[in-house]
Chain A
Amino acid sequence: MRRIVTILMILVGLALMAVSYFRWAAPWCATSVGCSDPRLPWAASFVVLGILIAISASIFYAVYKGDD
C-alpha cells in the first residue's frame, strides 16, 4: 500500500508536470498573441503542483502509519 501510493504519487506528479509544461502552459514561441497565453489558464500552477506531489511522495512514504 505504502509503496503503491508512493509510486503513484511520483508518477502522477511527473505526469502532471510534463503535461502542464508541454501541453497546457504557454507554447515555446514568440511570434503571435497566442504565444503569450497559457493554453489552459493557471497551467503554471499545475507544473508547480506536479513537482510538489512528486516530492510529497517521499514524505508520504516516511510518514504513512500503515502496514508493516
Chain B
Amino acid sequence: MTAETMTKRELPQGVGMLTPGWLAFFAVAIIAAVAGLLAYTNQLNQGMIVTGLRDLGTVRGAPWSLYVAFDVYFVGVSFAGISTAALIRLFNIEKLKSVARMAELLTVVALLLAALAIMADLGQPLRGIVNLFRYGRPQSPFFGTFALVIAGYLFASLAYLYITSRKDAARLAERPSRLRGLYRVWAAGYKDTPAQRQRDRLVTFWLALAILPLLITAHSSLGFVFGLQVGRPGWFGSLQAPAFVVMAGVSGIGHLIILAALVRSALRADRRITIDVFAWLGRLLLVLVFTYLYFTVVEVLTTIYQASATEQGLSDALLTGRYAWIFWGSIASLLAAVAILGWMALMRSWSVGWSVFAGILVNVAAVGKRYLIVVPSQTHGQLLPYGTGSYSPTWVEYVIIAGLFALGALMIGGFMKIFPIMPMEEGE
C-alpha cells in the first residue's frame, strides 16, 4: 500500500502502511526470533545440558540463571503499563494520555515474555503447563506468580487495553480498509454516546484502582519466590518483596521512555508525545531510582556491618570479587541515570535523547541487578562446605533471551501496524 492508493480518510499513525523502515525492522526481529526458537528446540531435544546451568551442591553450579533473571526482568518491565494507566486515570494526568496505550501494550507484551522465559526454564515445559493447572499448590510462591501475575495482572491489563481502545476501533471501522472486519469485531458495537463515555470512565477508574493492589501483590509474590528461601544466603529476608516492587518500576518506566521516544521518532509524533511526557516519566523514574538505591544501600550496609560467614563471602564476591564488575557497573549506571535525570529536573529542561539514555542505563542496571539477585546466592551461597561455584551462560541461553526480546519487538511493532499506538485525536 503506498500513499497514492490511500483514500483521504486513511488509517492513522502508519497503521496498515508497511514502510521500508518497518520491513527492515521486521526482518531483523524475525530472524532473531526464529534463531531463539531454533535454540529452544535444540534445548528441548538434547535437554538443558546445552545451557550453562548446573546443579548446586557437589557440582557447584547454578541451576537458576538467565531465564529466571529475565523472567523477573520482564515482569518488572510490566510495571510501566498499569502504573502509567493508573496515574492517568486516577489522577487525571492529561499530559501522559498519548503514551497510555503503548504503556498498556508494553505491560501485556512484557508479561507474555515473562511467561515464555519461565517456560524456557522448565525441564518439562508441556507437563508444566498442564500440571500447574491440575496440581498447582498455593503454598508454593510460584503459584502466586502464576495465578496473580500471569492470570490476573496480564488479563486485567488486557481488559484495560481493550476497553480503552474500543472507541478508536469503532472510528476505524467506519473507514474502508483491509482491516475493517477486525475493527468491527474489536469495537463490539461501540457507540460513542455520552452514556458510553461515562461507562468507560467509570469502569477504567475502578479497574485501575483494582489493578494497583494486584500490581503490588504480583511483584511482591515474585520477591517471595526468593525471599522465603531460608537455605539461600542473600535471598532470605523480608526486603525482597518491596525491593522487587521498586525495581520493577525502574525498569518499566525506563522501557516506556525508550518506547515513547521510538514511537515519537517513527511516527513523527512530536506534537503528541511532547517533552512534557518525558519530563513526567523522567521525574517518576528519578524517584524510583532513588528508592531503589536506598534499598541497595540498606542491604549492603547491613551485610557489611554483621553477617553470617556465608553472607560475608557472598557480599565480598559482590563488592570486590567475581561479581564486582556487574555490581559496580549497575550502581554506576543507576548513578549516571540519577545524574542525568536530576540535572534535567533541576534545570527544568528535558531532552528526549538524554531521557532515552537514562532509560537505557536503568535497564542495563536492571538486567545486571537481576542477574546478581539470582546467581551469586547459588555459586557463593552454599551452607555446607562444597566450596564456591561458577556459572557461565552458553550461546543457547543468549540466543533464547535475544529471541524473546525480538518477539516482544515484533508484537509491539506488529500491533502498531494494525492499530493506532496512540489514542486517536478528534481530527484523525
Contacts and interface: CB of A to CB of B under 8 A. Distances in A.
- Of A47, A48, A55, A56, chain B has the most CB atoms within 10 Å of the CB of A55
Interface in A36-64: 36-38, 41-45, 47-48, 51-52, 55-56, 58-59, 61-63
B151 A62 contact: no
Interface stretch (B40-48, B133-141, B318-326): B133-141
Given A38-B135, A41-B134, A63-B189, A55 B166 contact: no
Interface stretch (B27-35, B200-208, B261-269, B401-409): B200-208
B133 A42 contact: yes
Given A26-B135, A44-B133, A52 B155 contact: yes
Contact of A63 (B135, B156, B188, B195): B188
Given A30-B139, A47-B151, A58-B160, 6 more contacts: A26-B137, A44-B133, A51-B152, A55-B159, A62-B166, A63-B190
B134 A45 contact: yes
Interface in B113-148: 132-139, 143, 147-148
B9 interface: no
B155 A25 contact: no
Contacts of B132: 44
A23 to B, nearest CB: 11
B163 interface: yes
Interface of A: 21, 25-30, 35-38, 41-45, 47-48, 51-52, 55-56, 58-59, 61-63, 65, 68
Given A44-B143, A62-B199, A51 B134 contact: no
Given A47-B147, A51-B147, A58 B136 contact: no
Interface residue tally on B, bucketed by range: 20 to 34
A35 B138 CA distance: 11
Contacts of A48: 133, 147, 151
Contacts of A51: 147-148, 151-152, 155
B162 interface: yes
Contact of B135 (A28, A29, A37, A58): A37
Contact of B136 (A25, A29, A59, A68): A25
A59 B139 contact: no
Interface in B175-205: 188-190, 195, 199-200, 202-203
A52 B202 CA distance: 20
B150 to A, nearest CB: 8
Interface string B25-63: 000000000000000000000000000000000000000
Interface string B354-384: 0000000000000000000000000000000
